[in-house]
Structure 1
C-alpha cells in the first residue's frame, strides 16, 4: 500500500495478524483505563468476533515497520466506508452530507510515537472526507483529532450498548 520515508507502511490486516492485534487492543484498553478512561472500551471491546469481521471484510488497516528483520505492527484501525448508522442523529451538525469513511477502533502498540496520527493522515490522504468519534474521557484521542485538523461537530449516541453511549463526533473534509 503506502510507504513512508521512515520505513513505515500501511497494509490490510490478515487473520495471521489477529493474535498480535488482540494484544494491541488489550494494551490500549489498559492505557485508556490508566489515563482516566476506563469505560470507553471496558475490559472486552472490541470483541474478537468484531476484529475477525473487520479483517475478513478488509476494513482493518495496519501501520507496520521492520526492525531486526521482523515486521512490527505499530498501530491498527478499522476504516469503514458508507453511512454509519450511529452518525444519523447528531446533537450538533456535520460539516457536510458528502460521502465519507469512518475511522473506528484505532489503537497503537506503544512502540513508536505519533502512530495514531500517521493512521489518521493516511485516511485523509486516501479518502479526503473522514469522520471519527471518541469518548468524552478520551483526552488523548481528542487531542490527536483536533491537532490533525478535525472539527468537533457535536455529540452522538452509540447504538450498540445500553449505557455510556455519548461520544464526541469529529469530521475533517479535505476539499
Structure 2
C-alpha cells in the first residue's frame, strides 16, 4: 500500500470513492455521510491544500481515498473528553473510504498503517494522530481500535445536528 497525493485530475475518482463509501454506510444502516458531507467543495479544498491522498495497492490499483489534515482542526474545539497529548502538533485523518470493489482485502488496515508509519518515520514534529467516526460506524471503530488508537471523547453535532462522533488519538512521538 502506498499513498499518492491527489491532484485535481483525481477529483472525480475521489468523489466516486466517497460516494461508494456513503452507499456502503447506508447499506449497513449507518447514518454517516448521508447528507452534504463530505461536500464537493470540501474535497476540492482537500486537494488544493495538499490534504487529499489516494490509496494505491501493490498492483497499482487505486483502492481508496483519505484526507490527512494538519492542525488545528476546529471540529475538535468542543471535544467532550480529554486528549492524551494536549498538543497543537497533530494531524487528523478524515474522509477514509475503500471502494467496495476492493473490500475484504485488508486495505483499510493497510491504509491506516501506512499513514501511521509515514508520520512516525517522516514527521518527528508530529506528536499525535487524531481521528473520529460516527457512533454507529462499528466497522470503523473496530479498525481504529485495532490500529492502537485510544478513545478520548465525543463530538456532538459537529458534522450534523444531533450526530455523535467518537474521537480517538494515537500518540506517535512523545519526547
Query: TM-score, normalising length from structure 2?
Result: 0.85
Contact 1:62–1:77 (Cα < 8 Å) also in 2:
yes
Offset at 1:160? Answer: 4.9
Unaligned runs of 5+ in 2: 121-127
Query: Hey, what does 2:170 align to over in structure 1?
Result: 172
Offset at 1:65? Answer: 3.3
Q: Which moved more, 1:74-83 or 1:114-123?
A: 114-123
Query: Hey, what does 2:48 align to over in structure 1?
Result: 56
Of Structure 1 and Structure 2, which has the larger fraction of its residues in helix? 2
Offset at 1:125? Answer: 1.8
> 1:52-76 deviations in whole A, cap 9, x for unaligned?
1111111011111375xxx431111
Offset at 1:90? Answer: 2.0
**What is the number of residues matched between the two proteins?**
163
**Are the structure 2 counterparts of residues 157 and 131 from structure 1 closer, same or farther at C-alpha, using a change threshold of 3 Å?**
same
Query: Hey, what does 2:38 align to over in structure 1?
Result: 46
Query: Distance between the aligned counterparts of 2:157 and 2:119, measured in 1?
Result: 24
**Are the structure 2 counterparts of residues 158 and 105 from structure 1 closer, same or farther at C-alpha, using a change threshold of 3 Å?**
farther
Contact 1:86–1:158 (Cα < 8 Å) also in 2:
no
**Residue of structure 2 aligned with 1:89, choices 73, 78, 95:** 78
Runs of 4+ aligned structure 1 residues displaced above 4 Å come to none
**Are the structure 2 counterparts of residues 85 and 114 from structure 1 closer, same or farther at C-alpha, using a change threshold of 3 Å?**
same
**Is 2:115 the partner of 1:108?**
no
**Is 2:17 the partner of 1:27?**
no
Offset at 1:17? Answer: 1.2
Aligned alpha-carbon RMSD (Å)? 1.7
> 1:20-78 deviations in whole A, cap 9, x for unaligned?
111111111111011120x21104421111111111111011111375xxx43111111
Query: Distance between the aligned counterparts of 1:120 and 1:107, measured in 2?
Result: 11
Unaligned runs of 5+ in 1: 1-7
Q: Higher relative contact order by CA 8 Å / sep ≥ 6: 1 or 2?
A: 2
Query: TM-score, normalising length from structure 1?
Result: 0.85
Query: Distance between the aligned counterparts of 1:97 and 1:155, measured in 2?
Result: 16
